[in-house]
């Protein structure tokens, strides 16, 4: 029997339960009264089970799909408003001992140049990112206990936080590194990381083992139970994700939601974020070799249904996707985007976009200024805020504020204040003009007078050079 509280991966990600769910969804996809009742439940902000969400995913009725999209947009606005958090990845090393068949960093790839940043190079990368205006990074590294031990990762985190350049400072470092031990997660927590992110790649165990034929990542259970160990180590913000295209998307969707259910059942809080990458071309990797690719329309439906199923969870989309795709799914539930990303080791120090150490091709190659202006032209507030992390509003504390709607009183003002910082310190004149008008309009939308007054006071302080507030 399926038990989301089980700590063994094969039990909380039950293959038999997923197959039964997919059969149930297929059998009931034309049961429109059932579909309507599930949509109604989602509209009550109660979330959906993996089976309920799978029924909606299988449903092909055009009217219901449009209702799903409209509801996803409404839930996004209810819990996240019009804010879009911005971050950038920072690749530290592409040395890796794994044999992942979909990643160019796999050990047998002799085409790609191997590189590991020194601390001096890390500092130069950070300064380049600060000069763009970034405040939040997600560090990435291949799995290699010799070249990329945890001590190296911790040293890099310390270096990143230590760099203060002009008005720049990285205020939050999220970490996307290989599964590790409870003790190592405890050390990451003590280093002051934000969210620990680890993509499952695929929840289908047989496919997982085939796609990871060699290296420590081959161990399905150890990898899948990583989030439990991270939470045991004190990290209460964790980020899930699958790499869509490796396995059938309906299977992955059910497995992803089952993982979220498990974390909620065992630890009292689900994932802080869910990422939705699709497999892309990279050195010696042809995405056409994987026959489970999904269309842009299916991808949009997946994003909308994740928003319905876990309405309080942040959703991340990277520069893997084009401007057009990102524009559509931001409306349907995405709350965080990367900007001006380089997926190569040492890529931010170079004017030309290097390709010799890229992990995947970047579809959206605009500058950060262009991304910020694009978001504002669509009516969104680009947010560089990290105050929740620095004020301890993480894990169940963040989720309780989110579920009650009170988080808006923190996030909306902080988004405006960090946007003001960006406009003053980094923006081009056209971007600054749009942003200043947006801030003045948004000030009137802050619901409480005292919050509006505090926000206006902070905006005035920023204009006089005072930085690093926490509201």
pLDDT in tens, 278-322: 876 555 555 566 567 789 999 999 999 999 999 999 999 988 899
Give the residue-averaged pLDDT of 22-40.
98
Model pLDDT, residue 361: 61
> What pLDDT band is residue 63 in, cutting at 50, 70 and 90?
very high
Question: Where are the alpha helices (H) located in 405-428, listed in sequence order?
Answer: 408-425
Model pLDDT, residue 282: 55
**Distance from C-alpha of 138 to C-alpha of 339, rounded to nearest angstrom:** 12
**Distance from C-alpha of 470 to C-alpha of 460, rounded to nearest angstrom:** 15
Contact 375, 150 (CB under 8 A): no
Model pLDDT, residue 324: 94
Contact 470, 390 (CB under 8 A): yes
Contact 298, 328 (CB under 8 A): no
Model confidence pLDDT, tens digit, residues 215-257: 999 999 999 999 999 999 999 999 999 999 899 999 999 999 9
- pTM confidence score: 0.93
Give the architecture-level CATH label for domain 80-389: Alpha-Beta Barrel (3.20)
Model confidence pLDDT, tens digit, residues 148-204: 999 999 999 999 999 999 989 999 999 999 999 999 999 999 999 999 999 999 999
User: What are the backbone angles phi and psi of residue 240, rounded to the nearest 5°?
Assistant: -95, 170
Give the residue-averaged pLDDT of 125-148.
97
Average pLDDT, the chain: 90
**Distance from C-alpha of 249 to C-alpha of 255, rounded to nearest angstrom:** 10
Q: Which of these, 196, 197, 217, 216, lies nearest to 208 by C-alpha position?
A: 217
Model pLDDT, residue 398: 82
Dihedral over alpha carbons 279, 216, 222, 337 (to 10 degrees): -30
Positive or negative, the CA dihedral 182, 187, 189, 195 is: negative
**Distance from C-alpha of 451 to C-alpha of 464, rounded to nearest angstrom:** 20
Model pLDDT, residue 76: 93
Model confidence pLDDT, tens digit, residues 381-425: 999 988 787 778 888 878 887 877 777 767 888 899 899 999 999
Q: Which one is predicted more confidently, 445 or 286?
A: 445
């Amino acid at each position: 029997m399926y038990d989301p509280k089980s700590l063994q991966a094969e039990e909380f990600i039950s293959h038999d339960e997923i197959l039964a769910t997919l059969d149930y969804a297929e059998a009931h996809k034309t049961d429109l009264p059932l579909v309507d009742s599930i949509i109604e439940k989602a509209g009550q902000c109660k979330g959906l089970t993996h089976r309920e969400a799978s029924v909606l995913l299988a449903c092909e009725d055009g009217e219901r799909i449009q209702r799903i999209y409209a509801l996803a947009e409404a839930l996004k606005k209810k819990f996240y408003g019009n804010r879009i958090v911005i971050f950038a990845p920072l690749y530290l090393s592409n040395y890796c001992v794994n044999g992942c068949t979909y990643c160019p960093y796999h050990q047998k790839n002799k085409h790609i140049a191997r590189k590991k940043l020194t601390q001096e190079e890390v500092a130069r990368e950070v300064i380049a990112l600060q000069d763009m205006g970034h405040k939040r990074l997600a560090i990435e590294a291949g799995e290699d206990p010799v070249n990329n031990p945890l001590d190296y990762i911790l040293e890099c985190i310390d270096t990143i936080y230590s760099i203060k350049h002009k008005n720049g400072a990285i205020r939050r470092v999220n970490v996307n590194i290989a599964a590790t031990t409870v003790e190592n997660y405890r050390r990451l927590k003590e280093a002051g990381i934000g969210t620990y992110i680890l993509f499952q790649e695929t929840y289908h165990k047989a496919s997982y083992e085939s796609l990871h034929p060699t290296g420590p990542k081959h161990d399905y259970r150890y990898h899948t139970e990583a989030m439990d160990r991270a939470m045991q180590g004190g990290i209460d913000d964790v980020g899930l994700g699958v790499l869509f295209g490796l396995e059938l998307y309906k299977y992955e969707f059910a497995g992803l939601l089952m993982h979220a259910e498990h974390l909620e059942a065992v630890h009292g809080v689900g994932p802080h974020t869910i990422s939705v990458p699709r497999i892309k071309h990279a050195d010696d990797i042809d995405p056409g070799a994987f026959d489970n690719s999904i269309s842009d329309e299916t991808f949009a439906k997946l994003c909308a249904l994740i928003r319905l199923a876990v309405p309080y969870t942040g959703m991340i989309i990277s520069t893997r996707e084009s401007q057009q795709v990102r524009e559509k799914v931001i409306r349907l539930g995405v709350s965080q985007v990367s900007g001006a990303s380089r997926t190569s080791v040492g890529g931010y120090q170079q004017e030309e976009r290097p390709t010799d150490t890229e992990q995947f091709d970047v579809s959206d190659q605009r500058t950060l200024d262009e991304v910020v202006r694009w978001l504002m032209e669509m009516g969104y507030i680009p947010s560089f805020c990290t105050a929740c992390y620095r004020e301890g509003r993480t894990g169940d504390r963040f989720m309780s504020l989110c579920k009650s709607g009170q988080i808006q009183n923190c996030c909306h003002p902080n988004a405006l204040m960090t946007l003001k910082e960006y406009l003053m310190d980094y923006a081009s004149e056209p971007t600054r003009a749009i942003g200043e008008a947006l801030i003045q309009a948004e000030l009137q939308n802050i619901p409480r007078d005292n919050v509006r007054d505090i926000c206006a006071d902070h905006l005035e302080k920023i204009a006089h050079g005072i930085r690093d507030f926490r509201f």
